[in-house]
Structure 1
Amino acid sequence: MSFIREVNSKCDSFEHLIIKHPCLSRDAHFNYGRIHLPVSPACNIHCKFCTRGLNKTENKPGNARKVLTPEEAVDVLDKALELCPEITVVGIAGPGDTLATDHALRTFELIHKKYPDLIKCLSTNGLLLKEYAEKIVSVGVKTVTVTVNAVDVDILEKICSYVRYNGKYMVGKEAASWLILAQLAGIRKISEMGVVVKVNTVLVPGINDFHVEKIAKVTKKAGASIINLIPLIPQGAMKDIAPPSCIELNKARENVEKHLQVFRHCTHCRADACGIPGKGYDISSLLYDNFQLEETFSHG
């Protein structure tokens, strides 16, 4: 059964999401646009490969020119739609976690009122996904991406440094266990509510490369529909780990594809990316010419 038929067996109304979502469909990747609105200023976990920041040059997740207010984000979207009418998806993927503050949900609420037909897509580490599931659906979000780097405590402990939840600071196996349970519970709940769930997994050679098939199997059982393996960008505490080779990446994709459809066209998008990703150009610099570049960022 193809991915589209599998999703449609859950809900036929999702067909248009797959066809027009450049992060779910190969064809859409080359024909439709997306915008990432950088409205989330803080994160509630820390992954050892993550270095977030505010800049104009680093082409990788977690980076943006500035953190927008929800109201500024609507203005930026207005301008983006004029410049790139092919945009079908409004995503929020940082620079921090979308559920660590209420900024992303407030932004989606404003956008859904003005542009109800645009696909809304939220990316999260999943720590708070279950408890915000109803709110996420109420502001029009139809697709959610959850970054799941391990479903085994001993492996995730090597990737995630700490978790902060309701004022509690957790490290080690406690943090890893808490995060895994929260992610799977969140995926289960949000998928049961009719939201399409994609899993992102950062492929870290020697740490979770042998584990990705289990991630796919477990997250599919929880309700995920598609997975994207992201090659490690050596940075932070993992700056000395070499990224996976093409051979290693393809082998990992073959393993996870036994359980989930694999999206193969990820481009390591910034948190303020805008344009048609498959056509290799980005118009985000045109959207921020009236904004001053910020020099501080909350890593809390």
Structure 2
Amino acid sequence: MSARMTSLESLTRTTSLDHLQTTAKSDGCATSSSCGSPFQPDDVNSAVWEKIKDHPCYSEEAHHYFARMHVAVAPACNIQCHYCNRKFDCANESRPGVVSEKLAPDQALRKVIAVANEVPQLSVLGIAGPGDACYDWRKTKETCERVAKEIPDIKLCISTNGLALAEHVDELAEMNVDHVTITINMVDPEIGAKIYPWIFHDHRRYTGIEAAKILHKRQMLGLEMLTERGILTKINSVMIPGVNDEHLIEVNKWVKERGAFLHNVMPLISDPAHGTHYGLTGQRGPRAIELKALRNSLEGGPRLMRHCRQCRADAVGLLGEDRGREFTLDQVPGEITYDARKREAYRVVVAREQGDYITAKNDAIGMIKDAGSGRSLLVAVATKGGGRINEHFGHAKEFQVYEASAMGVKFVEHRKVEQYCLGGWGEETTLERVLAMLEGIDILLCAKIGDCPKHQLSEAGLRITDAFGYHYIETAISTLYAAEFGAKPLPTRASASHPTETRS
């Protein structure tokens, strides 16, 4: 069958360096990543912008184009969380703390080089366990130093529970680690005692409220120290209904006062099969509509991260995808040399694509604001990245949700779903579960959908269309908004810039 694919999509699916370099030259740019770079937001200064513009976690725009990689070098942990069980691993599972193989620092370096040579989108290396990066510090530090020496332009990140963070802030600053994620689920020790059964601190195990008090104090100290040194911090919080859901409003205030750059509120994952305390005791996770309501209540605090995928501790690739199985140790050469040319060529091409996308996005948002309607539209999108509607309904493992309103078009969240089409066939029970995850959605956009699921979804009351396949997301949404509420639609020129025909 035939399908349209943008030049950027085609580019990232090739392993040919010649193809990358030819495409970069055809864009009329030198090898500098500044050519055609997207517009800097008004509320972000130049120093911060340089740190986040190609970081897929810290920039919503960047996550369409740039990839992250986690290396599992830090298995030891100093706290126990009721939502965590690091022993469980399924190759198809996406959950923090899960890995298929643990690495020594030298193995991690080989793997990073292999990925950097083959995945031109790679911009960030993170150490997110599977234990705690600051507690298992020797391995974390050695890995960061080795990678920074070999690939100096890669951004380094760590994730931590914060208990041992203060001890290593100076070293993080010396190693030019610009981004740190701290998981903070409470500022009230009584609530903390319901989440953490124990911690290990100063060669001693603490439990209950005493443990939560120590953890809270250490987390706040670490956050304050990072802010003083100009290191950007992202706060992860797990939303646990009936435990800390309402309390996260207070957490948001505390971390804002201490300089957090981003706050990421994630849903509790509590499948009994994972063997966690919450999973085995029946603690439910939040419904998508509950998570959206909580995030909306946090507007005005630190910037909200809404595009998190709760990645594995060995994830590789764009957010929403995991190519880790392509780079297991048995597939990585024993001797390998870093070649920067592919990543450099990719940055030239993506700079132009980002500029085109942001221009189209700003036009679309302006048109909706000009409409003057007080109405809103919640739209789910099947996408593989690049800011376009470019995923088949049956292949989607998640939908990105956008809200169009008088304020423009904003990304709201992503909702994970089971893949409907497997081996060319779709399961009716799977379709029912997909429909349940689309609660509250007005319209679903995808690149293509079969007649059968389209009819069944329509029968259930969900509007769905593939008429905007491979167009920019915001442009398609603004056109729908115009048709819905009587605004003047945009010309189709901005919808599908630079499409090329390919066969698949």
Q: How many Å separate the matches in 1 of 2:236 and 2:44?
A: 18
Supply the AA of the counterpart residue of 2:95.
K
Structure 1 residue 289 displacement after superposition: 5.0
1:248-291 alpha-carbon deviations (Å, 9 max, x no partner): 101110122221111101112100000011xx432110110507
Counterparts of 1:37-56 in structure 2 under 5 Å? Answer: 37-53=71-87, 55=89, 56=91
The aligned counterpart of 1:78 is 113
Counterparts of 1:1-300 in structure 2 under 5 Å? Answer: 5-8=42-45, 12-53=46-87, 55=89, 56-101=91-136, 102-235=138-271, 236-239=276-279, 240-277=282-319, 280-288=320-328, 290=330
Supply the AA of the counterpart residue of 1:69.
A
Question: What is the identity percentage for the equivalent residue pairs of Structure 1 and Structure 2?
Answer: 35
Q: What is the number of equivalent residue pairs in this alignment?
A: 285
- Partner of 2:107: helix, strand, or coil? helix
Q: How many Å separate the matches in 1 of 2:48 and 2:150?
A: 21
TM-score for the superposition, normalised by structure 1 = 0.91
- Partner of 1:132: helix, strand, or coil? helix
User: In terms of mean alpha carbon deviation, does 161-170 or 56-65 score higher?
Assistant: 56-65
- 8 Å CA contact retained: 1:201, 1:228: yes
Structure 1 residue 59 displacement after superposition: 1.7
TM-score for the superposition, normalised by structure 2 = 0.55
Supply the AA of the counterpart residue of 2:229.
M
1:137-178 alpha-carbon deviations (Å, 9 max, x no partner): 222211000000001111111001111012110001110000
Going from structure 1 to structure 2, the CA distance change for 1:151 and 1:4 (only over 3 Å counts) comes to: farther
Structure 1 residue 85 displacement after superposition: 1.2
- 8 Å CA contact retained: 2:111, 2:329: no
Going from structure 1 to structure 2, the CA distance change for 1:73 and 1:185 (only over 3 Å counts) comes to: same
Q: How many Å separate the matches in 2 of 1:197 and 1:257?
A: 18
The aligned counterpart of 1:297 is none
- 8 Å CA contact retained: 2:240, 2:267: yes
- Partner of 1:169: helix, strand, or coil? strand
Q: What are the ranges of 5 or more consecutive residues in structure 1 without an aligned counterpart?
A: 292-300
The aligned counterpart of 1:295 is none
Q: Which of the pair has the greater relative contact order for Cα pairs under 8 Å at 6+ separation?
A: 1
User: In terms of mean alpha carbon deviation, does 94-103 or 282-291 score higher?
Assistant: 282-291
- 8 Å CA contact retained: 2:264, 2:306: yes
Q: How many Å separate the matches in 2 of 1:244 and 1:193?
A: 36
- Partner of 1:127: helix, strand, or coil? coil
Q: How many Å separate the matches in 2 of 1:213 and 1:255?
A: 8
- Partner of 1:151: helix, strand, or coil? coil
Supply the AA of the counterpart residue of 1:123.
S
CA RMSD of aligned residues (A): 1.7
- 8 Å CA contact retained: 1:46, 1:161: yes
Q: How many Å separate the matches in 2 of 1:104 and 1:223?
A: 25
Going from structure 1 to structure 2, the CA distance change for 1:91 and 1:201 (only over 3 Å counts) comes to: same
Supply the AA of the counterpart residue of 1:81.
A
- 8 Å CA contact retained: 2:126, 2:156: yes
Structure 1 residue 57 displacement after superposition: 3.6
Supply the AA of the counterpart residue of 1:90.
L
Q: How many Å separate the matches in 2 of 1:130 and 1:25?
A: 26
Q: How many Å separate the matches in 1 of 2:264 and 2:70?
A: 18
User: In terms of mean alpha carbon deviation, does 56-65 or 164-173 score higher?
Assistant: 56-65
- Partner of 1:120: helix, strand, or coil? strand
- 8 Å CA contact retained: 1:109, 1:140: no
Q: Which has the larger radius of gyration?
A: 2
Q: What are the ranges of 5 or more consecutive residues in structure 2 without an aligned counterpart?
A: 1-39, 332-504
Going from structure 1 to structure 2, the CA distance change for 1:37 and 1:4 (only over 3 Å counts) comes to: farther
User: In terms of mean alpha carbon deviation, does 213-222 or 54-63 score higher?
Assistant: 54-63
Q: How many Å separate the matches in 1 of 2:140 and 2:43?
A: 29
Q: How many Å separate the matches in 2 of 1:174 and 1:256?
A: 29
Q: How many Å separate the matches in 2 of 1:289 and 1:117?
A: 24
Supply the AA of the counterpart residue of 2:86.
R
Structure 1 residue 29 displacement after superposition: 1.1
